[in-house]
Every structure is written in C-alpha cells, then in structure tokens.
Structure 1
Amino acid sequence: MEKSAFRCVECNKNALELHRDYSNGILKITICDSCQKPVDKYIEYDPVIILIDAILCKTQAFRHILFNTSLNIHWKLCVFCLLCEAYLRWSVLQQGSEQSSDPADIIRYTKEWDFYGMFGLAALELMAFCGGVFCFLWLSVGLLGARPQPLDPQQLLRALLLSCYGKVLVIPAVIWEHDYSPLCLGLIKLFVLTSNSQAIRGRGTFSSLLFQ
C-alpha cells in the first residue's frame, strides 16, 4: 500500500507512515501532527478487537480498515451478503406459498428459480441504494456551496460494501425462527444503515461536511 494512502484514525488527516521501524526490531507508532494522537492505534490490536470495534460502529475502526490495511474482500463480502438476503426472502416466499403436485411447480422448486430472482432483486436494491448515496452526497454538498476534497467513487463504494456485513446476521435469524423474527430483521436493517453511515463518515471528503 502506498504511504500517501494512510490516514489518521482520529482526525482523518493524511499521514506519511503508521509506525517507524528502528534497529533491533523496535517499532514506534507515529503521532499525528494534527491531533497529536497515534495515527493508527489499531496496528497493535488483535483482529478480533478490531472486528468488535467495527461491530460497535466506531469510526476509527472503519478508517483503519478502509485506509490503513490492504483488505480487499469487499466484493466477496458483497456477494455473500446478497446470498444471505436472497435466502431470507426466498425462505419467506416458500413459507407463504403452498406446495403443489403440479409437475410445472415441482420443476420450478427443483431449479429454485425464485431464489435466483430474489438474489437479482437484492442486487438491484443494493445498486439503487449505493447510487442514491452518491447522489445524496453530491447534491447535499452542492447545496452547502462548499468545495471539499475530490470524491473517490471507488473508495466510497468499497466503504459501503464493507459496511454491509451486518446482513450476515440474517442467517441466525432464519435458523432460530421464532415469533420475534420480524423484529430481529428490522433491527438488522437498522444496524446495517448505522454501519453504512459510520463508514461514510469515516471515509471523509464530501461526507465530512455532512456528518462532522
């Protein structure tokens, strides 16, 4: 990763390095010139702690993941989350429909075309959501009349996709089905939206004018 891509997890300012390597394996964390705090405290943390802070929607954890690591699984995570959401919708559809002995219906259930349809629908909704976020940020900043740093669409898209990890929680919600499943699914959607907003806030640039 290029050093110019590093960011301070506290104030979101650019940093030349995360740590300095002295002789005999001695490492010293770099202090940010702007906020006088460690540029990235998470480089000393265990990945499990970083994951917990991300689940708690801490902006610093999102900045660490987005700017100071080479994590590049956002597309794989996106496909997995879409599969989870498609399965949830498909299971609800199957529960609401009665099984039929008609050969045409048997073939349809065998091929599970409904599942692929739900996957396509979830993908379209995700694309619409990401496009809506882009339009909202551009229009909002335009109305503010400010001139922020250039927006990196690829980086913002990566932030949105990574912050959709909460959709994985639909798996235990489906497995442990009970009377409160609709409430659980609503809370999961709220959690995903909260993660999206924190990821956008951690991304900075345009969104810093809106959320800070």
Structure 2
Amino acid sequence: MVKDAFRCVECSEKAAELHRDYKNGILKITICESCQKPVDKYIEYDPVIILIDAILCKTQAFRHILFNTSLNIHWKLCVFCLLCEAYLRWSVLHGARRSSHPADIIRYTREWEFYSTFGVVALELAAFCGTALCFLWIWVQVQGVRGVQVWVRGPEVRPVDVGLLFRALLLSSYGKVLLVPAVIWEHDYSPLCLGLIKLFVLTSNSQAIRVILNCSRRLSLTAVCLGLLAETCVSRVCEKLPWILQEGPPP
C-alpha cells in the first residue's frame, strides 16, 4: 500500500506502516508518533477476536477493518444479505409452509415474486446509501465553504471519499447475516428479533461513518436517520405501486 495509507486504530492518525520486518522472523509493531501506542494491535489478534470487537462496535476494530486491511468482500456480502432479506420477505408474503420435498423448493424458487422482492430490497439499500452519502458530501462541502467545523470529534473532519464510505456502509451491514437463521428456520422468529437486527445494522453503519469521517456521533446518526427515512419512503412507494398499476389511469 502507498505511504500513509494506514491509520492508527487508537487516534486515527496516518501511518506509513503497521510493522517493520527485520528478517529472520523478527517483526516489530510500529508505534504511532501521535499517541505513542501501537498503530494496529489487531495484526497480532485472532480473526475471531477482531470479529467480536466489531460486533461490539469498537472504534479500533472498525479502523483496523476499514483502513488497515484490504477486504474486498463487500459486494459479495451485500448480494448475500440482499438474497436472505428478499427470501425472508417473500416467504412472509406468500405464507410459505414448511416442506422438505425438493420439488416444492424448486417450485417456490421459480416464483417471479421473489425476484421482484429482491429488486425492491436492492432499491431500498440504494436509497439508504445514496441519501446518506449525499447528505455527508453536502455537509462536508458546506463546512469547507464556511470555514467552520461542527460535529467534529478530532482536529478536523476528513474529506468524503465516496468509494471508501460506500464500501464502509456495505461492510458495516454485516449484521444482516443474522437473517440467515430466520431463513433456515422459516417462521421461527418474531418482529422484535428482526427489529433488533435492523437496529444493530444501523448502529454499525453509524459507527462506520464516524470512523471514515472522524466526525461525531450526532452527524453519523443524522446521516443514518435520513437514509432510513429514504429507505422507508421507497418501501412504501413499492408497496403501493402494484395497486396503482392495477387501478390504471383515471377515465
């Protein structure tokens, strides 16, 4: 990676390297010049520990994942989560019954309603991410023009890297993987469980925005709430659209 591509997981300052190789199997973790702590302590941790810290929404774990690793699974994770959510909604819509017969499974998966549901779910995600990204980009531009900085945690807010921020939003939606048990066990779940999963995903999205922009929780929550509002509006419009099409234009 290029120079200053890494970030200290403690203070978020730039770093040229995470560790130095002295050969013969001798590695020394780089110390941050700003906070005098290891730049990235997670390079010595087991992936399970990193995952647990990410589930707990620890800032250090998010910085390690978003800045100091080269994970390129955000698109695969996004498609996988969309498929699970679409199947879950589709099964609820049609009141699917439990069946272990392979022919029934094939027949159900051929329903075109599943693909339309997948399209609606993807459109909702696009509305959420697009609204949040637009709001953050406009906010940073306005702050730059005014020359003032509010809702900033550090000495300055970072410019919006739309690609990096979009990747962070997709990766931080990993909580939707919890929908897999709901898909496996079909109707053995409750609206409360799905609501908690949604709350966890939004919390992770907010934390990812804070890490990328070095902003306050207030700004990240505002962006997430606006994205959720846009997602809800798209969902309501898509629910009413079939009825509008069936009624047709007024005589």
TM-score by length of 2: 0.73
* Distance (whole Å) between structure 2 residues aligned to residue 170 and residue 18 of structure 1: 35
Alignment pair present for 1:172 and 2:171? no
* Distance (whole Å) between structure 2 residues aligned to residue 208 and residue 110 of structure 1: 42
SS at match of 1:28: strand
Q: Out of 180, 194, 203, which is 1:185 matched to?
A: 194
Which residue of structure 2 lines up, in the alignment, with residue 42 of structure 1? Answer: 42
* Distance (whole Å) between structure 2 residues aligned to residue 174 and residue 208 of structure 1: 33
Alignment pair present for 1:111 and 2:106? no
How many Å apart are 1:143 and its aligned residue? Answer: 5.4
* 1:73–1:110 CA distance, 2 compared to 1 (3 A): closer
Q: Deviations over 1:169-197 (max 9, x none)?
A: 11213434567510000000000000101
* Distance (whole Å) between structure 2 residues aligned to residue 210 and residue 26 of structure 1: 43
* 1:93–1:13 CA distance, 2 compared to 1 (3 A): same
* Distance (whole Å) between structure 2 residues aligned to residue 34 and residue 209 of structure 1: 26
Q: Deviations over 1:52-103 (max 9, x none)?
A: 1111111111111111111111111111111111111111111189xxxxxx
Mapping 1:54-93, distance limit 5 Å: 54-93=54-93
Which residue of structure 2 lines up, in the alignment, with residue 104 of structure 1? Answer: none
The amino acid of 1:190's aligned partner reads L
How many Å apart are 1:150 and its aligned residue? Answer: 2.4
Q: Deviations over 1:137-194 (max 9, x none)?
A: 1344455544743211100000000011111111213434567510000000000000
* 1:110–1:74 CA distance, 2 compared to 1 (3 A): closer
How many Å apart are 1:10 and its aligned residue? Answer: 1.1
Mapping 1:123-134, distance limit 5 Å: 123-134=122-133
The unaligned stretches of length 5 or more in structure 1 are 98-107
Q: Deviations over 1:89-141 (max 9, x none)?
A: 111111189xxxxxxxxxx9563111101110111111110111112213444
* 1:81–1:52 CA distance, 2 compared to 1 (3 A): same
* Distance (whole Å) between structure 2 residues aligned to residue 164 and residue 209 of structure 1: 20
The amino acid of 1:193's aligned partner reads L
Alignment pair present for 1:30 and 2:30? yes
Q: Which moved more, 1:39-48 or 1:54-63?
A: 54-63
Number of equivalent positions: 201
The amino acid of 2:120's aligned partner reads L
Aligned residues: CA RMSD: 2.4
Which residue of structure 1 lines up, in the alignment, with residue 4 of structure 2? Answer: 4
* Distance (whole Å) between structure 2 residues aligned to residue 141 and residue 153 of structure 1: 12
* Distance (whole Å) between structure 2 residues aligned to residue 80 and residue 5 of structure 1: 29
SS at match of 1:151: coil
What is the percentage of aligned positions where both structures have the same residue?
A: 76
